[in-house]
Amino acid sequence: MDSLPDAIVQYILSHLNNARDVAACNCVSKRWKESLPYLRSLYFPRNSFDSHCGSDNPDSIVWKMLSMIVCLEELVVYSPFTSAGLALWLLLVHSSLKHLELRMDNITEYQACLDSPSKLDCISAAKNLESLKLWGVLMVNPPKWDVFKNLQSLEIVGARLEDPAFSAALRACPNLTNLVLLGCEGVRSVSIELPYLEHCKLDFYGLGNCSLSLTCPKIEHLEVQGCSWIRVRETTCLRNLSIANNAGRVYMVDFGKLSALEFLSMRGVQWCWDAISKMLEWSSEVKHLYMKVEFTGDLETLLPFPEVDFVEFFNSHPKLQKFDIHGAMFAALCQKNSLKNVEPGFVIPCLEEVVVQVRSPLNAEQKMSTLESLLKYGKNLKTMGIRILQMKSSHSSTDDFFDEICRLRFMNRKIVRIE
């Protein structure tokens, strides 16, 4: 390093970002210390100040390091900090800062969110942010944010939110292209209107009874977990869609025609059959379909899926290339009359991969017939995975069914595998 020109040393050291590494480099030599102003990114891990015993508090140490940097673009702070400290930091670096990630740690501290200014309020000083990621957020009052005109990505992980506060936060970020909410609770009704949003992932924690209204004409990728009522009217660009509700029920979906959809995932314990049938109808152009819904039925009544006609289903999804069938949907395709409408010349033209989950030996004959039909009519089928889960029965039918599956695998060993 001593033989390198100053510019090269500065370039190498400017790629450091861990605060401890930066502090250690400052002690090596004057030459290395003079490279500190050229840092672009600074990261403070959770344990940055665990062994600190000096007179300066952590807020002051961070401030001193930031004050020596000319043009900081990214700041990541996982170590504890105060709202006063954050305000001073952002006053130093607000003009150049583009990416900010903070571990707020105030999800259970109601009094902290009443402080003025709160940690959330302080973020408004960084007006040129392009991405913002927050961990452990308590947002019960609307944050005092001006408009972040350059903000394209907002991620919140682990949060307690109130509807008006969250709505106010979104209004301050009108140009978002990426929105991620993970493990958020307290939200009852969400309305999102963002004209440039392309990627959206929403994970609501709780009873699974949230309602969602999304008006985003450029949305391409949407994942929703924990909503019972979902309305997305602008869907011309939507290519990937995942809907799940692990704690509640999906009662209503309103999407319109999903002409660009390539991937659809439906998961959950219970969906209203009207919601399932509409999603299948709208997604006629889908290429990859993943279904893991255990029951249908309204309100508290858990019901099996009604019979699904095998031929009609695949004729309605002519571009389907990969099909993951779990639980009730496979059983619905295996009913007595599911294969009664097979006509001469019927084929499944594009199907290349099937993954089937089998839990019960009930209706074994119909299930084997459906598996054989997938092999027979799927002219381009390359692989079929059969997962046998929780098939607990002392009855001989279980052994017989397993023997039949093994026979199917042996006869089609280049395609069929047992997982």
The answer to whether 409 and 418 are in contact (CB under 8 A) is: yes
Angle at 277 between CA 275 and CA 278, to 5 degrees: 65
Extract the tokens encoding 78. Answer: 């996982």
In a domain, 113, yes or no: no
For residue range 93-136, what is the model confidence (pLDDT) as tens digits? 999 999 999 998 765 555 555 566 889 999 999 999 999 999 99
DSSP state of 138: E
What is the domain range of residue 324?
304-418
Distances 24 to 15, 29, 34, 36, 129 between C-alpha atoms, Å: 14, 10, 13, 11, 29
Domain count across the chain: 1
In a domain, 201, yes or no: no
In a domain, 387, yes or no: yes
Q: How far apart are CA 390 and CA 116, in angstroms?
A: 55
Phi/psi of residue 19, nearest 5 degrees:
-60, -35
Res 384: pLDDT:
96
The answer to whether 137 and 156 are in contact (CB under 8 A) is: yes
Q: How far apart are CA 310 and CA 341, in angstroms?
A: 8
Q: How far apart are CA 2 and CA 156, in angstroms?
A: 44
The answer to whether 373 and 339 are in contact (CB under 8 A) is: yes
In a domain, 353, yes or no: yes
Q: What is the pLDDT along the chain (419 residues), one digit of tens a residue?
A: 677 787 887 777 777 888 888 877 777 767 777 778 888 999 999 988 877 776 788 899 999 989 988 899 999 999 999 999 999 999 999 999 999 999 987 655 555 555 668 899 999 999 999 999 999 999 988 999 999 999 999 999 999 999 999 999 999 999 999 999 999 998 899 999 999 999 999 999 888 889 999 999 999 999 999 999 999 988 999 999 999 999 889 999 999 789 999 999 999 999 999 999 999 999 999 999 999 999 998 777 889 999 999 999 999 999 999 999 987 899 898 887 778 778 888 999 999 999 999 877 788 888 999 999 999 999 999 999 999 876 665 556 778 888 999 999 999 999 999 98
Res 328: pLDDT:
87
Res 16: pLDDT:
80
Q: How far apart are CA 348 and CA 377, in angstroms?
A: 6
Q: What is the pTM of this model?
A: 0.90
In a domain, 147, yes or no: no
DSSP state of 146: -
In a domain, 334, yes or no: yes
Phi-psi region of 256 (alpha: psi -120 to 50; beta: other; left: phi over 0): left
Angle at 193 between CA 162 and CA 221, to 5 degrees: 100
Q: Which residues contact 213 (CB under 8 A, 6 or more apart)?
A: 189, 190, 191, 192, 231, 232
In a domain, 356, yes or no: yes
What is the CATH classification number for the domain harbouring 400?
Answer: 3.40.50
Crossing angle for the helix pair 19-26 and 58-67, nearest 10 degrees?
A: 70
105-134 burial code (b ≥16 CB/10 A, e <16): bbbeeeebbeeebbbbbbbbbbbebbbbbb
Q: How far apart are CA 379 and CA 377, in angstroms?
A: 6
Res 342: pLDDT:
82
Res 97: pLDDT:
97
For residue range 402-416, what is the model confidence (pLDDT) as tens digits? 899 999 999 999 999
The answer to whether 310 and 336 are in contact (CB under 8 A) is: no
In a domain, 29, yes or no: no
Phi/psi of residue 149, nearest 5 degrees:
-70, -30
